[in-house]
Amino acid sequence: MNRRHFFKMAAVGLGGLSLSSVTQNVSAKENGKPWPFKIGCAGYTFAKYNLDDSLKMMDRVNVRYMSLKDFHLPINASDEKIAEVLGKFKDRKITPYGVGPIYMKSEAEVNNAFAYAKKVGVKLIIGVPDYELLPLVEKKVKEYDFKVAIHIHGPDIKVFPVASDVWEHVKDLDERLGICLDIGHTVRSGLDLIEDVKKYSSRIYDMHVWDVNKADKSGWCVEAGRGLIDFAKLFNTLREVNYTGVCSLEYAKDMSDVLPGVAESIGYFNGVLKCNA
């Protein structure tokens, strides 16, 4: 073998690849990894429906993880009612993976939220505690060994608008206190979603995923794929940071006739996940 031979080998091997195309290929290789997260629905998507109809729609779109919202099972529900509701989930082969969002404005509401989650049999509360209740919430996560994913609501609500605000308040507390990263509200806050996922990934315990049509407060929910969010990039980033929770569709358009938009959004997620698998 001589220099010319090596030259020829290199030319054949590289085949005109630029550095960027090599990089592209490396990420294509990384894409071979299985998705670490699951697709679900936030109970809030079905705010206008009873639980039976909600679970029927979940089944129709073949989504098996749902966060349980209080309008489908009140915080003060009896043990019998809880058992009945859990039976309905089981019948539809759907797993309630967490409860919430639950707003907590008093010590009693914090205590009730944890008691409720325990009775439901989940170890994740999606919650919005008032700031001054965080020490109590921290005490409770230690006592119960639950996670609390603090839901962010963008420019609409003063309490925990964005992920950085949750992060600043919980970073020195027990690590079971974290974030429910609502991606639509993140974009409505004018933030770079991918940056926020990367920055705060170690404390992201739930995700509310939905597409949004404008990157400011006037933006609202649209069918996934019709708005601003690059879901391929989002899902690939979640794989990079090894997010092992649920990406729950929170669909808040046409809430009285929600199924077509839910189905289109879930179909879109499936298409994106398939192509990057």
CA distance 18 to 265: 36
Q: Which of 186, 185, 201, 188 is nearest to 236 (CA)?
A: 201
CB of 77 to a second copy, least distance (A): 30
Among 35, 38, 61, 71, indicate the residue that binds a second copy (CB under 8 A): 61
Residue 211 makes contact with a second copy by CB under 8 A: no
Nearer to a second copy (CB atom), residue 103 or residue 220: 220
Nearer to a second copy (CB atom), residue 21 or residue 106: 21
CA distance 196 to 215: 15
Q: Which amino acid is at 111?
A: N
The DSSP call for residue 216 is S
CB of 90 to a second copy, least distance (A): 23
Token duo for residue 83: 């058992």
CB of 154 to a second copy, least distance (A): 24
CB of 222 to a second copy, least distance (A): 10
User: What phi and psi, each to the nearest 5 degrees, are found at residue 121?
Assistant: 90, 25
- Report 249-268 residues binding a second copy (CB under 8 A): 259-261, 263-268
Site string for a second copy, 13-52 (x = CB under 8 A): xxx-x---xx-xxx-xx-----------------------
107-120 vs 134-144: helix axis angle to the nearest 10?
30
Nearer to a second copy (CB atom), residue 116 or residue 231: 231
Q: Which of 148, 173, 169 is nearest to 159 (CA)?
A: 169
Token duo for residue 82: 């809880």
CB of 275 to a second copy, least distance (A): 4
CA distance 36 to 229: 20
Nearer to a second copy (CB atom), residue 3 or residue 158: 3
Q: CB under 8 A: which stretch of 141-149, 190-198, 224-232, 241-249 binds a second copy?
A: 224-232
Phi-psi region of 145 (alpha: psi -120 to 50; beta: other; left: phi over 0): left
Which residues of the chain form contacts with a second copy (CB under 8 A)?
Answer: 1-3, 6-7, 9-10, 13-15, 17, 21-22, 24-26, 28-29, 60-62, 223-226, 231-232, 259-261, 263-276
